[in-house]
Structures are given as structure tokens and as C-alpha cells.
Structure 1
Amino acid sequence: MTNTSECAICGLEMKDILIASHCKPWKHCNDMERLDVYNGILLCPTHDALFDKGLISFHDDGRIIISNRIKERENRVLNISKEIRLNFKKEQIPYIKWHRENEAQ
């Protein structure tokens, strides 16, 4: 993972707009999962929206999955590429897996 005060994908450090994005949404979580720090990724608004809508997700090894709904020419504007790879802690993997299997489009 990146520094805890920047977007995990692009590195944006504007703390006022960063969002703690849940991998497994609250409506699907039990009380423990809702408060589990490993159920979140800090993202900028653009990457949070993509993640929240299931337009991006991640393999367990951190490689990004980009939805076919995003045209390749839009990747640059959205600041995403197939080379993105996050370093997840083992405790995050179940939540990432849940997101990939239930939210990814």
C-alpha cells in the first residue's frame, strides 16, 4: 500500500478530498467488518467512483482489473493503466476478493 495519506492509485495527497472507500460495502457487512481498517482503500474522488461502481477492482496480488465498459482511450483521462499494482496486506485480501466477485463489472 501507499502512504496512508494519499490515494492508493495515483498518489494524490489532498487530504480534504480523499475518501476511505470500502471494499465490501456497509450494507453487506457485519458490525466487525464495517469498522475493520482492512476493509478500506484510501482513494481520490475519481478512483473512489470507479471502485465504488465496480469499474475497477483488483486481483489478490494487487493487479488492477479495468472494466471493459471503460474505453482504452479513457484510461489516460481517468489516470488508470493495466500497470497499476497495489500492495495489499493479507488481511485485505478477503475484502478485495469480495469486491471483485460481487461489485466488479
Structure 2
Amino acid sequence: MDGEVVDWLPLVANLDALFDSGFISFDRDGVVLISPALGEEAGLLDNIPRRLRQRPTQEQAIFLQYHTESVFEHATVDEPEVLDVCGAL
């Protein structure tokens, strides 16, 4: 989004790494989306919360849509560290 850094999503380090890598995102209502790129490793995320505590603001929802379309939908498992993050949850 025009090089703007948005750091308003308070996530624990493991989930933040998955978000930054595109393996999770959130819809406009704050419901978690888990990337199919994780394959069977996605089962390791069964115990994470299924939605954000607060519904995203309109500005946050716009960013989440951007993240989903530009990062989440293009995620690939090509770095073993990502799977280590999943295993740490």
C-alpha cells in the first residue's frame, strides 16, 4: 500500500511471522484465514484463536484485504523456518 508500514495488528511473534509470510490473514470481520499452502501443517494451527478480539476498523479492513490479495494468496512453503514457527504454536 504505497510503501506505508502499518503496524497496528498486535499478534504474538509466532502468528506475526505467519502473517508476514502470508500463511495467515484475516477477513474484514477479523476471522482468521489459514493458507492452503501450509498443507497438512495447517493442522498445527488448530489451537489458535479463530478471530481477532476486536473487529477491524474500516482502515484496518482495507489493509487486511490488501494483505489477503497481495501476500496471503501468494504464499508458498519454501522456507523451513515457517514450518518451525507452526510447530512452536
Same fold (TM over 0.5): yes
Deviation at 1:92, TM superposition (A): 0.8
Offset from partner CA, 1:11-61 (integer Å, 9 cap, x none): xxxxxxxxxxxxx6xxx52xxx43x6xx52011110011000000001111
Deviation at 1:73, TM superposition (A): 2.9
The RMSD of aligned alpha carbons is 2.1
Gaps of 5+ in 1: 1-23
Distance (whole Å) between structure 2 residues aligned to residue 55 and residue 41 of structure 1? 15
Distance (whole Å) between structure 1 residues aligned to residue 19 and residue 65 of structure 2? 13
Higher helix share: 2
Give the count of matched residue pairs. 69
> TM-score by structure 1 length?
0.55
- Divergent runs of 4+, >6 A: none
Equivalent in the alignment of 1:50: 18
> TM-score by structure 2 length?
0.64
- The 3-state SS of whatever aligns with 1:41 is coil
| Matching residue within 31, 43, 53 for 1:73 | 43
Equivalent in the alignment of 1:98: 66
Deviation at 1:63, TM superposition (A): 1.2
Which residue identity lines up with residue 73 of structure 1 in the other structure?
G
- The 3-state SS of whatever aligns with 1:61 is coil
Distance (whole Å) between structure 1 residues aligned to residue 43 and residue 69 of structure 2? 26
Distance (whole Å) between structure 2 residues aligned to residue 64 and residue 44 of structure 1? 14
Deviation at 1:91, TM superposition (A): 1.9
Gaps of 5+ in 2: 76-89
Which residue identity lines up with residue 34 of structure 2 in the other structure?
I
Higher strand share: 1
Distance (whole Å) between structure 2 residues aligned to residue 73 and residue 43 of structure 1? 19
